[in-house]
Amino acid sequence: MEYSIRELADLAGISTRTLRYYDEIDLLKPCKVNENGMRFYGKQEVDLLQQIMFYREHDVKLDVIQQIIHQPDFDVEEALKEHLSVLLKKKERILALIRTVELTLDDWKGAYHMSDQMKFEAFKESLVEKHEQKYGKEAREKYGDESVDASHKKILNMTEQDYERFQNLEKEVLRQLEEAVKEGAKPDSETGKRIVMLHKEWLGFTWKEYTAQAHNGLVQMYLADDRFLQYYNRNVNGCAEFLVAAVQCWAK
């Protein structure tokens, strides 16, 4: 069965503009175009669009999706298994959060006593799972399973105060980086030193042992990985570069 661009857009719940853009960037080409310029899509294109939408649901960028699905050895079955695995883990996180909300409501009503530790367990488990999905493979290859598992354990064992400090430190590092870059501060200045000390403290919540060498190695990875670059430079360009240079100066 073939679909016009309008029919496929309606079927998938997306806009015809999106499909035209996918055609322009060679992500999803129609199987044919008639003499009037009307695009038509067949079964292969429908299946490919489904894959694209699965990856988009996981926040994968379009250029990365293009590299994945247009590989000669792209395996649809394996891709579907991967999607299922990711979605099941996401389901587990959501169910854990739902359970936390339910228990918190019971606690407020006096029907159940919820410890302070329990109030944050689901959030910490969700954080660990997200880190594992995003960076787990690379981290395990680079540092080994024992080191990564130990880091996850430290997160799960955080007290309420530790978890709050850990979350706030991450935000504070980014805030001060953005201010430093906007104000034209130098990485080797006292401002740079202060940011490095905050970043070091933040790492201490998850690292089994701190070393300046490991700190430098980590921030160098920030420059090589688009995910980290986009995180640190999301509001102000140059933040990731400032952090790397500051760590080189002040990590001890």
| pLDDT, average across residues 134-150 | 69
Angstrom distances, CA of residue 33 to CA of 11, 19, 132, 155? 19, 13, 43, 54
Q: What type of residue is 91?
A: K
**pLDDT recorded at residue 19:** 96
pLDDT of residue 122: 67
Give pLDDT, residue 109. 75
Q: How many helices (H) and strands (E) does the chain have?
A: 12, 3
Q: Which residues contact 218 (CB under 8 A, 6 or more apart)?
A: 203
Read off the pLDDT of residues 1-37 as tens digits, 9 standing for 90 and up.
899 999 999 999 999 999 999 999 999 999 999 988 9
Q: Is the pLDDT of residue 116 over 70?
A: no
CA distance 238 to 234: 10
Average pLDDT, the chain: 85
Structural domains in the chain plus CATH codes: 3-69 (1.10.1660.10), 75-157 (no CATH), 159-252 (1.10.490.50)
In this structure, are residues 43 and 18 in contact, taking their beta carbons and an 8 Å threshold? no
E strand or H helix that includes residue 33? strand 32-33
Instruction: Give the highest mean pLDDT range of 8-12, 111-115, 141-145, 161-165.
Output: 8-12
Query: Which residues 6+ apart lie within 8 Å of 82 measured at CB?
Result: none
Measure the CA–CA gap between 39 and 3, rounded to whole angstroms.
9
pLDDT at 114: 63
Residue 27 is predicted with a pLDDT of: 95
Average pLDDT, integer, range 210-225: 87
Residue 99 structure tokens: 């359970």
pLDDT in tens, 49-103: 999 999 888 878 888 899 888 888 888 888 888 888 878 877 877 777 777 777 7
Exposed / middle / buried, residue 115 (Cβ in 10 Å: 0-12, 13-18, 19+): exposed
In this predicted structure, the answer to whether residue 149 has a pLDDT above a threshold of 90 is no
Question: Is the pLDDT confidence value at 108 over 70?
Answer: yes
| Rounded Cα gap, residues 70 and 27, in angstroms | 8
- Which region among 42-51, 53-62, 98-107, 186-195 has the lowest average model confidence (pLDDT)? 98-107
Question: How would you list the strands of the sheet with 32-33, edge to edge?
Answer: 3-4, 39-41, 32-33
- Between 159 and 237, residue with greater pLDDT: 237
For residues 221-250, one letter each, b for 16 or more C-beta atoms within 10 angstroms of the residue's C-beta and e for the rest, the string is ebeeeeebbeebbeeeeebbbbbbbbbbeb
**Predicted local confidence at residue 26, as pLDDT:** 94
